[in-house]
């Protein structure tokens, strides 16, 4: 009897704690759902960098970029469906949101159907500390000419 009397407050507190945890879990689930909705509404993130930022040389030949498909990372920054099999497809308008998908400390070539987009992506990535990023010159046409694989990607 004495032990039941002593354990009673702990049982009551345990029940209260479980109720509070359940309420908090509902609140955080609702917040996570709202965050997911908000993230889905972001269609274009600003990837501009300060005018005084000097990234150094950023151009890479198509031949070297094709080699990075096996030795490093190639980012297909084209809008629309993926163009390069085996490449990480991140449209240039999404690079600011998806930067965490890029492997750190890995030489990376950025290929896009528009050279200006590849250069903008590289300037943005270098400004964020990914110094081993390069913009492939010539776009997808140069990629094909250098013998790089083309077609639908699995990524």
pLDDT tens across 132-142, in order? 999 999 988 89
Q: Write down the pLDDT at residue 29.
A: 79
The second-level CATH assignment, the architecture, of 59-145 is: 3-Layer(aba) Sandwich (3.40)
**Distance between CA 17 and CA 74 in Å, rounded?**
50
- Cα-only R_g, the chain: 25
39 vs 98, more confident? 98
Q: Facing residues of 135 across strands?
A: 59, 110
Residue with tokens 């080699």: 67
Residue carrying the six token digits 């704690």: 17
Dump pLDDT digits (tens) for 48-100.
Answer: 888 898 999 999 999 999 999 889 999 999 988 888 999 999 999 899 889 99
For 97-138, how does the pLDDT look when each residue is reduced to its tens digit (9 = 90+)? 899 999 989 999 999 988 889 999 999 999 999 999 999 999
In the predicted model, what is the mean pLDDT of residues 16-35?
81
Please say whether the beta carbons of 42 and 77 come within 8 A: no
3-class state of residue 111 by DSSP: strand
Q: How confident is the model at residue 43 (pLDDT cuts 50, 70, 90)?
A: low
For residues 111 and 143, the answer to whether their CB atoms sit within 8 Å is yes
**pLDDT at residue 153, as a whole number:** 43
Indicate left, alpha or beta for 115 from its phi (over 0: left) and psi (-120 to 50: alpha). Answer: alpha
For the cut 90, the answer to whether the pLDDT of residue 20 exceeds it is no
Supply the pLDDT for residue 61.
94
- Please tell me the predicted confidence (pLDDT) of residue 73: 94
Sheet-wide strand order for 59-60: 59-60, 133-136, 108-111, 73-76, 88-89
Task: In whole angstroms, give the CA distance from residue 14 to residue 36.
Answer: 33
């Amino acid at each position: 009897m004495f032990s039941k009397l002593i354990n009673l407050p702990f049982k009551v507190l345990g029940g209260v704690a479980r109720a509070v945890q359940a309420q908090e879990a509902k609140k955080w689930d609702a917040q996570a759902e709202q965050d997911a909705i908000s993230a889905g509404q972001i269609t274009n993130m600003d990837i501009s960098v300060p005018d005084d930022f000097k990234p150094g040389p950023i151009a890479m030949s198509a031949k070297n970029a094709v080699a990075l498909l096996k030795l490093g990372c190639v980012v297909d920054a084209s809008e629309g469906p993926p163009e390069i099999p085996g490449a990480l497809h991140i449209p240039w308008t999404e690079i600011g949101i998806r930067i965490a998908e890029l492997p750190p400390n890995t030489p990376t070539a950025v290929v896009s159907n528009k050279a200006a987009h590849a250069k903008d992506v590289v300037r943005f990535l270098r400004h964020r500390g990914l110094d081993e990023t390069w913009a492939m010159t010539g776009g997808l046409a140069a990629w094909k000419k250098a013998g790089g694989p083309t077609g639908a990607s699995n990524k």
